[in-house]
Structure 1
Amino acid sequence: MTTNALYTDLSGYYDLMCADIDYQAQSNCVRRLHQIFGNNGKKHLDLACGTGPHVQHFIDFGYLSSGLDINQPMIDLAQQRCPTGHFSLQDMCNFQVDDPLDLITCFLYSIHYSSDITQLKSCIASTHRALASGGVFCFNTVDKNKIDSSAFVRHTAEHHGSHFAFSSGWRYGGHGNQQSLRLKIEKTTGLHTETWQDEHPMVAVTFDELQQLLQPYFEVHVFEHDYEKITPGDGASGNAIFCCVKI
């Protein structure tokens, strides 16, 4: 398998790569935040939805749930997972919806896929336009000044007779508004191991900078990055859940 072949077919490995993520806990936490801060509506959109696991949970919660992503194979897999969901091939930094929404989510730090500050501003503006009055925008994020560039998250999985090892980690150079997400996949079949690695450029912000970008559009509430309980954030961990109510 060549590097390009694995990259082209990354959608097929996405669920394996995210196998240790508790999608239900994440979705339920945001549902609780929406119950507290939202407008009681049930129209939901998940930005950078991937293969749709969060969308499925919101459908189970009784939402009219949809998702968007820039990767068509991901959209295809999401539609298979969630036959009653609606999915569209769109860029989260410049998207449109047919009707105002009550909740927009962006999980797995995907807000950082806005490649620079200009794109992040566009994502925030697009989200604000898409929300109904009192609608909620909820996402998780990392403070650039708290990134440990030496830290990696690793896990393994077995699939179709092969052993997979996945690792990912942030890298930030210490200045500017650019960070990156480093990814590595090792696939071992028998005695043969193939390796794919990549580094995705992403926008880097502090929590203070992010709040300044959001405050013209939203009332911003910041919580600890804990999906089991809702606790106001103090910024110490460098990871947070932002709950933003349209004003």
Structure 2
Amino acid sequence: MSSNALYTDLSAYYDLMCSDINYQQQSASIHRLQQFLGNNGLQHLDLACGTGPHVRNFIDFGYQCSGLDINQPMLDMAMRRCPEAQFNLHDMTAFHLEQRVDLITCFLYSIHYSQSIERLKSCIASVHSALNDGGLFCFNSVDKHKIDNTTSVKHFTEFEAHHFAFESGWHYGGEGEQQLLKLNIAKSRQPFMASLADALPLFDTPDAGLQEIELWQDQHTMVATSFTELQQLLAPYFDVHIFEHDYEKIVPWDCVSGNALFVCVKI
């Protein structure tokens, strides 16, 4: 059994790690919100676009799309997936567009990659400047006060005769403006014992020593905010609507859950 660190380049594993995500459903939900609350325009920018799966769906919905990310290998994959779109290597906390857009999205909690409150403020200001009047800024977020450090999300998939297990979870120390996103990846030629892996962290499964498994660990420093703090940061720029983190239907946030969808109309 071997182990090493992924550091910052997850491009080789990104699509596998996110293989259980319904990109079409997420994109369609934001498209509906743009029709209901936005200016109904079709110029779209996806922040932290990764390998471009959301961009692909918005193109199919009829949008003229662009994407922005700080990872060039992911952008290379995005360009192959979406040759119709424009992609730029840039930091989402300080960007400028020559031509404004109608919709800016930031999926998969990527807004937290801003890393600090000051950089998050800069991101919000950049988004506001890049939007047309009545344009929409949509992203999902987690409230730092609702994070359970003992829980994580796991899923399993197969690729090129190998079995993969992915585990991710938030960790917040209880104070300050930073939290961690912890990631584990396990790769094996044998199927994982799902019942054990569901009950235990991937790196502590009893069967791990019985087969050849490659293990990777990584963690990313993310900005930590409460939803109240986030609303205060957005309020000077946007009319803020908060919905439940449910892409199947549009439901107002219940003021209890720790995951929410922020839909912000430029003012």
Band of TM-score, shorter chain? over 0.9
Q: 255, 260, 264: which is aligned to 1:235?
A: 255
**Corresponding residue for residue 42 of structure 2:** 42
After the TM superposition, which residues 78-227 of structure 1 pair with which residues of structure 2 at under 5 Å, given as runs?
78-189=78-189, 191-227=211-247
* Local SS of the residue matching 1:10: coil
The one-letter amino acid of 1:119's match is R
Do the aligned residues in 1 keep the contact of 2:3 with 2:217 (CA within 8 Å)?
no
Partner of 1:246: 266
The percentage of aligned residue pairs carrying the same residue is 64
1:26 is matched with 26
Distance 2:176 2:58 in 1: 36
Q: TM-score, normalised by structure 2?
A: 0.89
Q: Separation in 2 of the partners of 1:3 and 1:149?
A: 23
Q: Given residue 245 of structure 2, which amino acid in structure 1 is its aligned partner?
A: H
Matched residue of 1:118: which SS?
Answer: helix
- Segments of structure 1 that go 5 or more residues without pairing to the other structure are none
| Cα distance, 1:168 vs structure 2 | 0.1
Amino acid in the other structure paired with 1:211:
Q
Shift of 1:2: 7.2
Structure (1 or 2) with the larger CA radius of gyration: 2
Task: Please provide the CA RMSD for this pair.
Answer: 1.3
Aligned equivalent of 2:207 = none
Q: Equivalents in 2 of 1:180, 1:10: separation in Å? A: 16
Q: CA deviation at 1:109?
A: 0.3
Name the aligned partner's letter for residue 230 of structure 1: I
> One-letter code of the match for 1:18?
C
The CA deviation at 1:9 is: 5.8
Whole-angstrom CA distance in 1 between matches of 2:259 and 2:61: 26
Contact 2:59–2:65 (CA under 8 A) maintained in structure 1? yes
Q: Which has the higher contact order (CA 8 A, sep 6+)?
A: 2
Question: What amino acid sits opposite 1:3 in the alignment?
Answer: N
Please give the alpha-carbon distance, in whole angstroms, between the structure 1 residues aligned to 2:158 and 2:25: 24
Instruction: Find the residue that maps to 2:240 and give its secondary structure.
Output: strand
State the aligned residue count.
Answer: 246
The aligned residue for residue 3 of structure 1 is 4
